Amino acid sequence: MATMIVPNSIAFQLSANSLFFLFLIIFCSSCKTTYAFQGTKSKSFHHILHLNSLLQSAACNSSTQGLQHQKSSLQVVHKHGPCSPLHLDRAKTPPTHAETFFQDEGRVRYIQSRLANKSGSKADVKVTDVANLPAWDGRVVGSGNYIVIVGIGTPKKQLSLIFDTGSDITWTQCEPCLGYCYQQRDAKFDPSVSSTYSNVSCNSVQCSSLLSATGYLPLCSLSTCVYGTQYGDSSFSTGFFAKERLTLTPFDVFDNFLFGCGQNNQGLFGGAAGLLGLGRDQLSLPSQTARKYNTIFSYCLPSSSSSIGFLTLGKCKRYGSKSVKFTPLSTSIQDSSFYGLDITGISVGGKRLSISASVFTTAGAIIDSGTVITRLPPDAYAALRSEFRQRMRRYRMGRELSILDTCYDFSKYKSVNIPKISFFFRGGVKLTIPLVGTLYVANVSQVCLAFAANSDASDLAIFGNTQQKTLQVIYDGAGGRVGFGTKGCY
């Protein structure tokens, strides 16, 4: 997938030679390109960028700032990027832009229907059998773009797991697969060779807790508790509910960690071995490790797929810093898994948009690490798009890109000014979105505003991961708040 590293600006200075190489790259279907921009931050309400180079994204930029110098930190990488161990599997090709947005739409619809308690939400379904859960098409799952590597079992087995703030239960594929297991890069976890593995019994309190964490009633296989979890397009994982030793870092080891040992799994998880649940339910990782971390964690999503970010458990170095601004978690979101936000306004180029407060309060909003593009109420997006287009009227429009309807062709321009977009949250918090979170780049002639409209005013707004790039996002479950710090990683 072509991506764009945009620290703070955009402007293009293309010689005849560079244009020649640009078109070679764009029209070569086998090329994987990263557009790298460097510039200085405008003192006005615009980002000003200068085209520095066009870089191949085949190599991981391990020198980028990502992993914080803290004991309880893990590296975060894009699952399809060159820094990911999944990237080594050349049989798997990254999804196209259209496929990415198709997966994203599936996730968004699922989250919105779940929180609206509409018919067909996952809470209405029962786990029928450890080897039999309907997959429907089972082709895609919008379960997140970013992975971390953790250890499970004794001896420790290193596994690449997608981390997801919108999910609670952690699971991985296990041997033997009684139903079906998709292909993954790591060898599957084999509980029979671990000295610390044990199944959870059907009549235990832990088994009963699965209902709130997954939305599905657990069942039994003989005396063993059976879990099931299903995602936006009906991709799923089901298997034995168990306890095991979890190793996050050499300093952070937890015994009796409750997780799913998947025996029947289907969906495009990008070759990852499973999922790490960072939601708010009692079975999530933050809740199960609360004695040590007090349900506090933070992460920074890197600017591009060839850079490295971090996931830190517990208080980070910037936790009490004045550079981090906290907003209270919204009380309007009833689902125990999600982190709610109260959006109070949006500005473009320093101008506060005229949007009624009821536009944001009608359905509420959450922040989600797995949704790619931020979804806004129709009236809010219309106001954002109108002002953005007005300020960009000097530039030539480009072709729309799936759900993104405001795109530009910058191939003939030497310099480009991009108006800064800021979000306002309850508590007087103003967050200016980094430029890398403002634009989604397919190529130099298709650079799009990275926001989309919900289909209905009653649909939940979602603050997605594109807008979170390079920010340090701090989740303080104990304090009931979410914090934002700039320049968390590059």
Catalytic residue numbers, as ranges:
164, 368
Angle at 311 between CA 477 and CA 71, to 5 degrees: 100
Which residues are bridge partners to 261 per DSSP?
172, 240
Which residues are bridge partners to 449 per DSSP?
439
SS3 455: coil
Q: Taking a C-beta distance cutoff of 8 angstroms, is the pair 464, 368 a contact?
A: yes
Q: How long, in residues, is the chain?
A: 490
Q: What gap in Å lies between CA 415 and CA 171, rounded to an integer? A: 48
**Quick one: 428 exposed, middle or buried, by C-beta within 10 A (0-12, 13-18, 19+)?**
exposed
Q: Which tokens in the block code for residue 289?
A: 């490790």
User: How far does Cα 239 stand from its chain's mean position?
Assistant: 25
DSSP string, 239-253: EEEEEEEEEEETTEE
DSSP string, 458-476: TSPEEE-STTTTT-EEEEE
Q: Where are the alpha helices (DSSP H) in 373-479?
A: 378-391
H or E element in which residue 101 lies: helix 97-116
Angle at 455 between CA 449 and CA 457, to 5 degrees: 105
Phi (first) and psi of residue 476, to 5 degrees? -115, 85
